[in-house]
């Protein structure tokens, strides 16, 4: 995140995670990212840094460009600017990325079982023209087990509840064994139990030093799970550690007018 050096040093836990996790994965740097949809500018000159080992949340009002930011970073929509991870562009390292789109972005009446969808997480690693290996099947089983839906393995995805569908996507992301995880609105329409499971998994991933980026819009209590926030409204309003970003002024600039958020969060 972009924050003053002295501020970073004033947060001992942050300094600790940075020094331990950075040894393994580099931070992800976004510079001057701009997305134009014809006449409309969806994102304007975004600069930010994602740190490994920290749960980063993208927040902002409807139409702020939250999903677009993730898609632009991954090259799913055309954008100008640079997104560099380590010393190379992120789009050249997509085999290390797990992206989970919004749940309503896919057709859940597609003729596939839970197993079929989770195994999609192994397609890239398996490679063209090849069959899934025993390792891939084991990884997928472990992922299903982790999110608690191993018993639904042979269920058609159309018969699942919203929470179960989101867990399928979470399992698919885990099966990808990625280093950067991007989730678009994973908490929409899921039950409390699933929300808890998702945050548990996020925590495990960040503790393992991964980069985890989540598009969210809920300023309620769940915001306390996030280490870093990216506050967006077409332009970047603020980004950095949660207490530093969640000021009345920043929220006003992002949302305009009245906005209420969980008071314990700042």
Partner 1 sequence: MFQALIEPLQYGFMQRSLVVAVLVGLVCAIVGSYLLVQRMALLGDAISHSVMPGLAIAFILNLNIFVGAFVAGILSTLLIAWIRVRSPLKEDAAMGIVFSSFFALGITLITRIQKQNKIDLNHFLFGNILSVTPRDVIDTAIIVAIVLVVVVLLYKELLFYTFDPLGAQAAGLPVNLLNFGLMVLIALATVASMKVVGVILVLALLIIPGATAYLLVRRLYQVMALGSAIAIMASISGMYLSYFYDLPSGPAIVLVTAAGFTLALLFSPRYGIWVKSQNTALPALLQEIKQLLR
Q: Among the candidate windows 23-31, 109-117, 220-228, 235-243, which touches partner 1 by CB under 8 A?
A: 109-117
Long-range contacts of 195-200 (CB under 8 A, 24+ apart): 195/222, 197/147, 197/148, 197/167, 197/170, 198/166, 198/167, 198/170, 199/225
Cβ–Cβ < 8 Å for 98, 125? no
Could you say whether residue 205 binds partner 1 (CB under 8 A)? no
Could you say whether residue 98 binds partner 1 (CB under 8 A)? yes
Q: Indicate the length of the chain as a whole number.
A: 266
Rg (CA), the chain: 18
Q: How many residues bind partner 1 (CB under 8 A)?
A: 35
> Which CB, 99 or 202, lies closer to partner 1?
99
Phi-psi region of 75 (alpha: psi -120 to 50; beta: other; left: phi over 0): left
Rounded CA gap, 125 and 167, in Å?
A: 21
Binds partner 1 (CB under 8 A): choice among 110, 133, 191, 204 = 110
> Which CB, 105 or 135, lies closer to partner 1?
105
Could you say whether residue 204 binds partner 1 (CB under 8 A)? no
Q: What is the distance, to the nearest Å, from the Cα of residue 242 to the centroid of all Cα atoms in its chain?
A: 16
> Segment 36-55, which members bind partner 1 (CB under 8 A)?
38
Instruction: Note the helical H segments in the chain.
Output: 5-9, 12-21, 66-73, 114-120, 123-126, 134-146, 162-175, 192-207, 242-245, 248-255
Residue 46, token pair as written in the block = 């975004």
> Minimal distance in Å, beta carbon 39 to partner 1?
10
Binds partner 1 (CB under 8 A): choice among 29, 124, 137, 141 = 124
> Segment 130-149, which members bind partner 1 (CB under 8 A)?
132
Could you say whether residue 99 binds partner 1 (CB under 8 A)? yes
Could you say whether residue 126 binds partner 1 (CB under 8 A)? yes
Q: Among the candidate windows 74-82, 145-153, 242-250, 257-265, which touches partner 1 by CB under 8 A?
A: 74-82
Residue from 63, 74, 101, 106 nearest 217 by CA: 63
> Segment 156-175, which members bind partner 1 (CB under 8 A)?
156, 158, 172
> Minimal distance in Å, beta carbon 8 to partner 1?
30
> Which CB, 52 or 121, lies closer to partner 1?
121
Rule CB under 8 A: which residues touch partner 1?
38, 71, 74-76, 94-95, 97-101, 105-107, 110-113, 116-117, 119-121, 123-124, 126, 128-129, 132, 156, 158, 172, 176, 182
């Amino acid at each position: 995140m972009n924050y003053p050096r002295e501020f970073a040093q004033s947060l001992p836990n942050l300094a600790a995670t940075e020094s331990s996790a950075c040894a393994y994965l580099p931070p992800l740097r976004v510079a001057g990212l701009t997305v134009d949809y014809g006449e409309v500018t969806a994102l304007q000159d975004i600069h930010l840094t994602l740190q490994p080992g920290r749960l980063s949340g993208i927040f902002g009002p409807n139409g702020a460009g939250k999903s677009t930011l993730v898609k632009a970073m991954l090259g799913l929509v055309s954008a100008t600017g640079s997104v560099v991870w380590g010393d190379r562009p992120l789009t050249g390292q997509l085999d290390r990325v797990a992206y989970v789109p919004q749940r309503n972005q896919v057709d859940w009446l597609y003729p596939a079982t839970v197993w079929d969808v989770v195994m999609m997480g192994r397609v890239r690693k398996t490679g063209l023209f090849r069959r899934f290996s025993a390792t891939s099947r084991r990884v997928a089983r472990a992922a299903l087990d982790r999110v608690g839906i191993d018993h639904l393995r042979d269920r058609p995805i159309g018969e699942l509840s919203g929470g179960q569908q989101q867990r399928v996507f979470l399992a698919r992301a885990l099966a990808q064994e990625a280093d950067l995880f991007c989730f678009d609105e994973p908490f929409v329409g899921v039950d409390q139990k699933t929300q808890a499971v998702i945050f548990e998994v996020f925590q495990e991933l960040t503790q393992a030093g991964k980069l985890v980026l989540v598009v969210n819009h809920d300023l309620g209590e769940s915001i306390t799970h996030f280490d870093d926030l990216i506050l967006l409204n077409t332009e970047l309003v603020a980004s950095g550690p949660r207490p530093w970003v969640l000021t009345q002024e920043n929220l006003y600039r992002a949302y305009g007018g009245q906005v209420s958020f969980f008071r314990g969060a700042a």
